Structure formats: C-alpha cells, structure tokens
Amino acid sequence: MILASEVLIVGSGAGGAVTAATLARAGRDVVIAEEGPWIDPDAIQPFSLDELAAKYRHRGLAAALGQPGIVYAEGRCVGGSTEINSGLYHRLPPDLADEWRATYAIDEFSPAVLDGYADRIEAELGVSMLPVASPPSSAVLADGAAKLGWRAVEFARVFRYDANGRGTKQTMARTMIPRAVADGARVVPDFRIDRLVTRDGRAVGAKGHRTDPDGHREPVTVTADHVIVCGGAIQTPALLQRSGIRANIGLGLKFHPTIKVAARFPSAFDHDDVPMHRVTEFSPYLTIGGSASRRGQVALALADSGVDYHDALADWENVVVYYAAIRGEGSGRVIAIPGLSAPLVSYRVTDADLSRLARGLVHLGELLLAAGATELYPSIVGGPVVRAPAQLVEWWDALSRSRANLMTVHLTSTVRMGEDRKLTGADSFGRVWGHGNLRVSDASLIPDAPGVNPQAAIMALASRNAEHFLATT
C-alpha cells in the first residue's frame, strides 16, 4: 500500500490529535498513522482488564530498567493515553514555564502564551469540576489533609457533565480525532511506522506495516511534504533513532516516580473512578493522590506488599489505592536496538529520590490513618502492614532499592525543545535539529517532569506548535 499526504502525523494521542484537528481545520491534507486499533471509547469498561489488553502497549507490562525498576503505562490505540488516563487536568505551573524558558531558551513559552492556548483547548474540549459531591474515595484525601492542616485541592477533569452529574471523559477519540476526520483528515489505525525516510536533511515520508485482525502484515509506504511525530516520550525518540536521527534524542527521560499504598477502611468505598482530590502541601516536589481501585488494581497493589494479603483481598470493596509521587532528580534513556521492535528504557533513581519517596510514603500513611483507614499495605516487598501512626517509622528503613515497587504514568523530556542546541533535540516549536520539515509535538518536548498530569501542557504545546507550522509553511 502507498499513501500520499501533505502532512503525516505519527500518533493520535493528546499531541497528535490536537495537531491533526488544527491542521485539518486549516485545509491541510493530513494522514494520521496510529499503531494501535480504533476502539469505540464506550465499548470497554474503563480501568478493566479488557481495557488493559486492548488499549495499553504490551498489555500494560512495560518497565524502565534500573535499581529499582519502574513500571510505566502507555496507551496504544486511537486517542493514545487520553483513552486510558483519569482525565485529571492541570495547567503547567507558571514558575516551571518561566524556569524552563530561561534554562533551555524556549521562544514564546511564557505563562501568558501557554494560558492563551489552554483557554481555547478547555473551551473546545470541556474541562470542569465535578458538579456533585466528591465520592468517598476522593473525600478521604480532603478530610485527611484537613485534619492534618495540609493543603488539598480538587482537580478539574477533561469531562463534560449532564444535568444529572453524569460525566463523559473527553478523550481524543471522542473529540479531536472526529473533528479532524470531519475536516478531511485520514486516520489509519493498526499502522506501525518502522522508520522515517529522509533525503538531504528532509523527511520525505515513512515506511511501516499495517496489521489486519487476522494478524497479516501489509507493507505500507507514505510520502509526505512534512512529518510530525507525536508518539510520546518513549516511542517518538525510538522512531527517530531507528531513522538515523540521534543527536540529543532519547536522553534525559523524566517522569514522576510513584509509590502506592492499599488502604483498608471499615466500610465499602466507591471503585468506579479515580479520586479528583490531590494533596498539594508538599508540591511541586511531592504530590499525594488516589489511583484506579477496581478489584484488579486492588489485587495488584496488595500483591506489591509481598505479605499475606488474602484477608484484605477478600474484603477488597473496603480497599482503595492511593499514591505518593515525586518530581525526581534522576533521569533515564530510551535506546532503539536494531532487531527489536521495542526500545530499551532505563531510569536512574537517585538516593535523594529514594529519600523523597520514603518521606512521601510516610506522609501518605499519616493522611490515610487520619482519614480513618485501619490497615495500610505499602508497595514494598515485605513492607510492614501499618495500623497505627507509631508504626509508620518502620517504612523509612523498609523502602530500599531492592524492595521498592515503583510505577509511573507521566513520561516526558526525551526530545527537549529550545534554542540551546547543546541541551535540546528540537527547537522551540518542535522542529528537529537538522531536519527543517520534521517536527515533534508531544510529551517528549517538555523539558522536565512537571509535577502534575502533563496532558494540559501537551495539548497547549501542540496547539501552539500547529499554529506556528501553519504560519511558517
């Protein structure tokens, strides 16, 4: 199969979908290549095992190598990770925008500029607070923080609510992708781009293969005047490296190392959604929040403790999973290895990061006990089950490199943007150095871990970069 387009967009998540919708609305001829399938957002129950198998890369089984290793998650479907995340929404903190603008010499990156794009994205998608009382699993965070005198906030979400307070997550497959298609964009699902084709310092297309439902692979070639890679902080640098583009590509991987606690309460809790409250007393370097807590997630969190958890699992409706996440000082790498379809991902957790995680774990335990939890199972192999505040001190020594079970969902910084070519892989608007018509527009441009869900920042950047593309091509 041979496809031709003016603009080839690789990936359909927050960056790719916003880019496609913006360019298609302006009349550009757009093809969106998505490695994963196109699944109706209403077809599969959120946070279920079926969703894990259908929408996650490697069925959710991915990890950054290191001591300790860190499990991470990526969406692999039309809409990308917007189809599987919680929909929590937080603009990039203005002090970080100022800091990164100065450090990396990023043009048009002031808080005022970014807020202007965020205003438009929010109006277009629908970003709002829960219009009814918070569910008990979320109220736990607010109640525990209030008892300890800590700050806590309820985050807005990328949701639209009806008159009865029922919400619908505004994923890219529900919003930007249909809008792009209505304006003429073509979406090709189940299409993996193996490498970009470059000639004389320009990207002229890509080669890959499409897989049909029976598993048959068909080679596909795309010709394009412009290529915009939006595969995320792991897949974008891997594709660029496979295509022979390596300068400052795949270095400096950043994310939020996260440790969890499965908290048991005296009565049953809700398990249908992710808590909206976050404890911000220690932000931006430490954040406390709640996670998905269906039976499967509860079982995994209890198993992370490595102790006898059968009684708690039998009582799983009384158990909710919470976390402490840090902005670590460690970093990692993404390396494409010839002959392997998946890149090698590694991450180095520093001693200071381990100390911050231990502090976060203890603070999380304090909060949950203050909110009425009766048993706390930490994600530490053999970690003590805590039932009283005096026992929390035992977690400090228990959290070690060999016993910590860590995870993350926010990955950034592998093709940093800015005008300082020694520190970046692309310019301020995502143009890859040395390739004038090849751009990146996703989480990999964000220079460091933002301390909040990066989706808002990704969409604002993608909108900004797409407008710059339209103004300069």
Positions marked active-site: 410
Phi–psi pair at 186, nearest 5 degrees: -110, 125
**Residue 47 is encoded by which pair of tokens?**
């946070």
C-alpha dist (Å) from residue 267 to 277, 313, 315, 374: 20, 14, 9, 10
Q: Which 3 state secondary structure label does DSSP give 345?
A: strand
Asked whether the beta carbons of 416 and 424 are under 8 A apart, the reply is yes
The helix/strand/coil state of 261 is strand
Residue 407's alpha-carbon distances to 64, 164, 190, in angstroms, are 9, 35, 27
CA atoms of 284 and 287, how far apart (whole Å): 7
Q: Is residue 79 a contact partner of residue 41, using CB atoms and an 8 Å limit?
A: yes
Residues 6+ apart with CB under 8 A from 82: 13, 14, 17, 75, 158, 171, 172, 173, 455
The beta-strand segments (E) located in 155-212 are 156-157, 159-161, 167-169, 186-188, 191-199, 202-211
Nearest residue to 42 via CA among 32, 34, 30, 50 = 50
C-alpha torsion sign, points 285, 288, 290, 292: positive
Do 332 and 347 meet the contact criterion of CB atoms below 8 Å apart?
A: yes
Q: Measured between alpha carbons, how far is 196 from 236 in angstroms, rounded to an integer?
A: 11
